[in-house]
Amino acid sequence: MASAARIRSNYAVVLAALVVAVAAIFIADTVTDYAVAVAIFHTAVMLVATRFVGVRAVAALATACVVLTCLSFVLTPAGDYKIGLINTGISVVAIGVTAYLGLKLKGAEAQVHEARERITRIARLTTLGQLTASIAHEVSQPLAAIATSAGAGRRWLVQPEPRTEKALAAVDRIIREADRASEILDRVRRLARNEAPASSVFDLNAAVTEIIALSSSAAGASGAMIDADLAEGLPSAFADRVQVQQVVSNLLLNGMEAPAVSKRLRRLAVMTRAVGDRLRVAVADDGEGLSAEAAEHLYDAFWTTKAGGFGLGLTICRAIVEANGGRIWTEASPLGGACFVFDLPVAGDDT
């Protein structure tokens, strides 16, 4: 409210200054000789007016300037009448042209402003859409696991002789998955806000083993088996553990969903290695591999060849890996299908 009042009072001050300038020009134009074309200074008033005041005020000022220029011509007592007439004509045309061009410019500026606002709005919507889809994508796995464990727990309880210890184990799994879902939400939020990952020193093989165990029910459901080929004596990793698990989980899911070559049991493999001062994780499958088109668009947001796919899994993987100081790429798969590899920094002395 206070700023609206300030804008109104600034507007009034500018308008008053313009009116004073117009009056001063009129007086100077009238008292000077016809040969002195003081009225041309009205164009400067018009330029200022188009910059600071509204369209109607500009039109009113332009009209006033033209009328006063003509009046001044009539009232000017001295000089060559012909020169006065020419100067007056030039001034009137100049005032009209300046006002017209100034208003046109103002309109164009308004359009640019509006277009910019529209673009910002669209960009915000796109970000919001991506954020929503990313959250849905990342929490759908823990949610599915929660539903599975809840179903199992219920079955253990409704038996003629309820197996409470089994039901309790299912409840524990539900709690773990719910915690994981909320951790994932936190990570997606961080990613969307461009915040640094919550890095810590951790055992990469333990994190990978954990996520393989969590993915095993999904693997079983899709008729796949996950082999782990984890190098011994790896140095500790320095990254966001939950995010690294999200990447492995997304890559495993893609492997399970990859078009199969034959009907036999699908095979997936997760490998960990130390290469120089980096750690590498590879997720391979024995599917059909990547088509040329897929290879080109893998990391494009919303690019998918699956009926129910978001096309976000790999986009999220790349965002996570890069936020953690790594890179993600594809290699020839030891199992014949696709193989995604990413690297991570090892924990140094200062971490």
Ligand X SMILES: Nc1ncnc2c1ncn2[C@@H]1O[C@H](COP(=O)(O)OP(=O)(O)OP(=O)(O)O)[C@@H](O)[C@H]1O
Binding site residues, ligand X, CB under 6 A: 137, 254-255, 258, 285, 287, 290, 294, 298, 303-306, 309-315, 337-338
Answer for the pair 304, 311: CB distance below 8 angstroms, yes or no. Answer: yes
Cα distance between the two ends of the chain = 51
Task: Return the number of the residue (84 or 313) whose C-beta is nearest Mg ion.
Answer: 313
The encoded tokens of residue 319 equal: 């965002």
Which string of DSSP letters, residue by residue, matches 279-294? Answer: EEEEEEE-SS---HHH
Instruction: Between 289 and 313, name the residue whose CB sits nearer to Mg ion.
Output: 313
Q: Which stretch binds Mg ion (CB under 5 A): 49-57, 77-85, 218-226, 307-315?
A: 307-315
Point out which span in 48-56, 219-227, 229-237, 250-258 binds Mg ion (CB under 5 A): 250-258
Residue whose structure tokens are 């300037």: 65
Identity of the residue numbered 72: S
Residue among 261, 278, 250, 254 nearest 345 (CA): 278
By a kind-dependent CB cut-off of 5 to 8 A, residue 305 interacts, out of ligand X, Mg ion, none, with ligand X
Determine, following the binding rule CB under 5 A, whether residue 313 of this chain makes contact with Mg ion. yes
The one segment of 32-40, 101-109, 239-247, 309-317 that binds Mg ion by CB under 5 A: 309-317
Q: How far is the CB of 299 from ligand X (least distance, A)?
A: 7
Among residues 281 and 346, whose Cβ is nearest to ligand X? 281
- Which of 39, 314 has the CB closer to Mg ion? 314
Nearest position to ligand X, beta carbon: 313
Could you tell me if 272 and 281 are in contact, meaning their C-beta atoms sit under 8 angstroms apart? yes
Quick one: what does residue 183 bind among ligand X, Mg ion, none, with the CB cut-off 5 to 8 Å set by partner type?
none
How far is residue 165's CA from residue 170's CA, in Å, rounded to a whole number? Answer: 9
List phi, psi (to 5°) of 170. Answer: -65, -40
Q: Which residues contact 312 (CB under 8 A, 6 or more apart)?
A: 130, 133, 134, 137, 301, 302
Report, in Å, the least distance between residue 148 CB and ligand X. 19
Q: Which of 87, 254, 272, 324 binds Mg ion (CB under 5 A)?
A: 254
Binding residues (CB under 5 A) for Mg ion: these are 254, 313
